[in-house]
Amino acid sequence: MQMDKEAWLAKCNAACANTLMETLEIKYTDIGEDYVVASMPVNPRVHQPDGVLHGGAMVALAESVGSVASFLFVDGSKYMVRGIEISANHVKSIREGMVYAKAKVVHKGRTTQLWEIRLTDEAENLISICKLTTLALPRK
């Protein structure tokens, strides 16, 4: 990362306009050497019919933060990033508040990267753990 943290966060959040991330109110909140953190409010917009956070919304948050992390750690002027596989284990329900996703690199190869994304609530209880594989493709 050549930009400072605040500049990267502003750029990531600005890129969310008119996307699923804006619809889900995902905000990127922290970036480090080997991780990215994002948050999403838990409210009826992201509930399943019985009033708990929808697993699909959790996976969308996880893939969003993992893909941004992957993009930040490759040369974005030369490569575009695509998620090629994601898996999730949901371990706890949440009805309200905020959910946080922290993507940490597990493997950083030339073309593929493996990310572990832990979703937690405001008390740092584990809600879901996801694994995302991304592919860096050369820009044409």
Write out the catalytic residue numbers.
63
Tell me, rounded to whole angstroms, the distance of Cα 58 from its chain centroid. 9
CA distance 63 to 69: 10
Q: Which of 88, 80, 33 is nearest to 61 (CA)?
A: 88
Burial class (CB in 10 A: 0-12, 13-18, 19+), 75: exposed
DSSP state of 43: S
